[in-house]
Amino acid sequence: MNSGFEFKVSVMWESVPVLLTGLKLTIIITIFGLLLGFLLGIVFGMLKISRNVLVRKFAGIYIESIRGTPLMVQVMFIYFGLPLALGMRVPPMVAGVTAIGINSGAYIAELVRGAFQSIERGQVEAGRSIGLTHIQTLYYVIWPQAFRRMIPPLGNQFIISLKDTSLLVVVGVGELTRTGQEIIAANFRAFEVWLTVAIMYFVMTMSIARVLTYIERKMEI
């Protein structure tokens, strides 16, 4: 049976310039989303190890509700749901960055908590025993050690969040996946275009992985 399919490399090359504009947006959303996520992660990770039960519970609600619901639902809730309650439109880009940030923040919070709790109790005691305050001990003694342990799982989260941005097609952000869809709508070359899109994601995630391996090696003493 002849399906009439003919693989054309030229189609791939032709789609690259347009896809690159989408790729640019993907990178921007990932960077800002992760910045927000990192901030939320540190704050909520620290709250999660607070001595106050209520504070811990509060952080737990955020972390569990985000980890317990699909990112796709979160994105649509922020873009379609929240504007109805707030009475104002949320630009797609803002919704996208917010969704990626809030989502990765919950996972990063758990990484932060785990890394802090993995530092031996004796380190805090040693810090306090030379007269450092609780905050100084966290900052000078615990944080540098915890951060080092966070790097590998953090890199993992970066890669996941980068790929997650593709879900933003549902709110019409013109990122890489959306751009691919648009090209296909015009030329019907699904095979070549999706292959190109996949390669672009792969190159980005591989680059992150490489950079992380390098940093890990650098930080090893």
Partner 1 sequence: MIEIRNLHKNFGDLHVLKGIDLSITQGEVTVIMGPSGSGKSTLLRCINRLEECTSGTVIVDGYDVMAKDTDINFIRTEAGMVFQQFNLFPHMTALGNVTLGPVKVRKMKKADAEELGIELLSKVGLKDKARVYPDRLSGGQKQRVAIARSLALKPKVLLFDEPTSALDPELVGEVLEVMKQLGREGMTMVVVTHEMGFAREVADRVIFMDEGVIIEEGEPENIFTSPRHERTKSFLSKVI
Burial grade of 164 (CB within 10 A; 0-12, 13-18, 19 or more)? buried
Tell me which of 16, 73, 126, 198 binds partner 1, using CB under 8 A.
126
Q: Which is nearer to partner 1, 31 or 132 (CB)?
A: 132
By three-state DSSP, how is residue 82 classified?
helix
Tell me which of 3, 6, 122, 218 binds partner 1, using CB under 8 A.
122
Burial grade of 188 (CB within 10 A; 0-12, 13-18, 19 or more)? exposed
Instruction: Please identify which residue in the block is written with the tokens 């933003």.
Output: 168
Tell me which of 117, 136, 187, 213 binds partner 1, using CB under 8 A.
136
Q: Which is nearer to partner 1, 65 or 136 (CB)?
A: 136
Alpha-carbon separation of residue 100 from 12, 74, 126, 127 (angstroms): 29, 9, 38, 36
Cβ of residue 108: shortest distance to partner 1, in angstroms? 21
140 scored as a contact of partner 1 (CB under 8 A):
yes
Tell me which of 133, 187, 207, 213 binds partner 1, using CB under 8 A.
133
Residues contacting partner 1: total by CB under 8 A: 19
Tell me which of 55, 123, 138, 163 binds partner 1, using CB under 8 A.
123
Is 80 within 8 Å of 52 (Cβ atoms)? Answer: no
Cβ of residue 152: shortest distance to partner 1, in angstroms? 17
Cβ of residue 132: shortest distance to partner 1, in angstroms? 6
Q: Which is nearer to partner 1, 43 or 142 (CB)?
A: 142
State how far the Cα of 199 lies from the Cα of 207, in Å rounded to an integer: 12
117 scored as a contact of partner 1 (CB under 8 A):
no
CA 120, distance to chain mean position in Å, is 29
Q: What DSSP letter does each residue of 85-101 carry, written as one string?
A: HHTS---HHHHHHHHHH
- Chain contacts with partner 1 (rule: CB under 8 A): 120, 122-123, 125-133, 136, 140-141, 144-145, 148, 221
